[in-house]
Homo-oligomer: A and B are copies of this chain.
Amino acid sequence: MKEGPAPTMFALLQAAHAVETRVEEALEKVDLSGAKFVERLTCVRSNITQLVDRLEADGLVRRVDDPDDRRSKRAEVTALGRKRQAAGAKQVEALEAKFTRTLSGVDSTTFRAALAALR
């Protein structure tokens, strides 16, 4: 019945998942999602298209033609978008503070070095 302790790799994934859930919940308070808040650029183009679709539907962003390149569209953040972004940032900052407190007993340099090695 060999069944060692849960590998560290899964402990990492589990911890990250828990943190991510908290981030999503915090952003939900201000009617945002993680994806909408981050507007990440580390994804495929079609994902951005759909994400901007949803942001535009929420009135947070407006598509504008790029005058310099007619293939391009610019996503212009609306006033509501800026307000929402600020509210989201506030939520995330609060979470970061709590995160830091939770890890107050840990040497952050070492911890971050370990995470960086895994990237």
Q: Which residues of A contact B (CB under 8 A)?
A: 7-9, 11-20, 23, 95-96, 99-100, 102-103, 106-108, 110-119
Contacts and interface: CB of A to CB of B under 8 A. Distances in A.
Nearest to A18: B119
Contacts of A8: 99-100, 103, 108, 111-112, 115
B118 A15 contact: yes
Of the candidates A13, A103, A115, the one having the most CB atoms from chain B within 10 angstroms of its own CB is A115
Copy number in the complex reads 2
A106 B116 contact: no
Given A103-B118, A111-B111, A114-B103, A19 B9 contact: yes
B114 A111 contact: yes
